[in-house]
Structure 1
């Protein structure tokens, strides 16, 4: 009988390896400035919104779908949330309206994708353009500022507690509910899930709702960090979130390779990369070029890892069949 070989699963360790590499490289390149207390706090503050939006996008990415409207949902939720708070004089209205807008945007995108069978990339691109136009119209000559009593949300301890609570809830949904299993199952084999009796359309809609909801929560913390909103808020944010997903080894095709812990390393890795480039004195054009190359490299790498995982899975299934056959022969000879 063949013995099992121990394998080093690069896909499992990839986000940690990249995190450590970026940390070491830019710590040396910046002469230790990257790791001073002020910059660590800055990295944490920027990572909060990226992690929150990434947790939502993870549900969509795990199905092999795409949502590039995340950045504009951040802006839309923040914009109308602050408008509602100023009009009503109630700070709680800011949070309620922001969350409702995120849910509504996700519901619309999920419906168009699942029920009308429009490609998720094209559907989210259309929403990105529409929502950005609305934000530009509303904020063209106006500014909205955060109510003073909401600045408590900008305290690192408060942010940390809320972030940990949300992450734990998402981990529970991801690992211990049928919805989480169905989302990953759709990424593995959507047709098989349909034959198994799963309401795939409903799962897809709920996944996009999760993406919109958590993008809105990210919008709340972005507004809190900036102290207000403007018509450029959230621009390019969706690319940052996608980079956080893919650089952490989450497969473009979705499926079981999508893990929450990967995002928790991927998000601060991207923030460290961007901060490190700025601290090294590189201009915005070079930084943008590096971001694009990193995204391209991350997508290529995750695609290769997904192919490797599929090959290893087929090889494992073949070995299991061989072992079962050998066991049957041995038992038959007794």
Structure 2
């Protein structure tokens, strides 16, 4: 009995952690369980969850993408410019997603063809595209986007915020791709053992490039949502978002070594970070201390991941 319980707790440790965290915060602050606060948490989680879903594909292959925050910023700025000049929400959204995919593809091609570590490549492109964003926007926010565009980040359907709906759609698509398609199996195979995957006939360079395209598109969608929510595209947008996304993936049980993890786990990981942030805000904990707590939680998750790999 004890062995079965331990096995269950180990298998569903992320979900158990989320439930325990929710119980603790709800006891300390009864406001946590109010409908308005729960919707607020879901809305705040949505952006990180979408980026983290894209990051999951990358980490499953044993890679990393540090450029997602910069991709969010540049695509948000481009979407803002297009909606101001054309007044077309659809065009600005599609253009942002295409550009995000192209930037992700650039990362993937350099990593796969150049045989350079993903950490180094995406660290460099993170800096490059943040600089491009500052040049493009002249270092100032792009505002005056109109109410039609702001609907994407602020409207609700049956009480459910648009960003949450976007997250559910992205989750459903990602779950299907990773679990029901040949490409999804290739992603796991690449992360499990790249040499074996190559010898078995998998085009590892193509798979590796495509996961970065997916990550770029996810970051671009988040960029449009963030820009729409605040009604302005800031060149500083997305700063530090890559760390929250990586943390969500790791907290959700995906191994940094690759080959092991789930999209469902990533959503749970994003919820843990969102609930933790919300709970600390409800308890009036200083933002400075919040950074310390978040860092400790991430470090704990990495240590657990390391122990499981052993």
With normalisation by structure 2, the TM-score equals 0.92
Q: Distance in 2 between matches of 1:190 and 1:68?
A: 21
- The partner residue of 2:267 within 255, 264, 268 is 264
Residue-by-residue CA offset, 1:67-97 (whole Å, 9 max, x unaligned): 0111111111101111122122322222022
Partner in structure 1 of residue 309 of structure 2:
306
What pairs up with 1:96-175 in 2 under 5 angstroms? 96-139=94-137, 140-153=139-152, 154-157=154-157, 158-175=162-179
* 1:47-86 CA-partner distances (Å, limit 9, x unpaired): 1111111111111000111001111111111011111221
> Residues 159 and 231 of structure 1: is their aligned pair in 2 closer, same or farther, counting only changes over 3 Å?
closer
Among 289, 296, 299, the residue aligned to 1:296: 299
Indicate whether 1:212 and 2:216 are aligned. yes
Quick check: 1:11–1:249 contact (8 Å CA) kept in 2? no
Partner of 1:76: 74
Q: TM-score, normalised by structure 1?
A: 0.86
- Further displaced range: 179-188 or 160-169: 160-169
Residue of structure 1 in register with 2:57 after alignment: 59
**CA 1:142–1:223 in structure 2 vs 1: closer, same or farther (change >3 Å)?**
closer
Aligned to 1:26: 25
How many angstroms apart in 2 are the aligned matches of 1:177 and 1:77? 29
Distance 1:130 1:241 in 2: 20
Greater Rg over alpha carbons, structure: 1
State which drifts further: 69-78 or 151-160.
151-160
Equivalent-residue separation in structure 1 for 2:284 and 2:241 (angstroms): 22
Name 1:47's counterpart in structure 2: 45
Which of 234, 240, 245 lines up with 1:230 in the alignment?
234
Unaligned runs of 5+ in 1: 308-334
User: Which of 193, 198, 206 is equivalent to 1:194?
Assistant: 198
Following the alignment from structure 2 to structure 1, what is the Cα–Cα distance between the partners of residues 87 and 7? 57
Aligned length, in residue pairs: 301
Aligned mates of 2:16, 2:54 — CA distance in 1? 24
Runs of 4+ in 1 over 4 A off after TM superposition: none
Shift of 1:261: 0.9
Which of 63-72 and 145-154 deviates more?
Answer: 145-154
Q: Distance in 2 between matches of 1:271 and 1:85?
A: 30
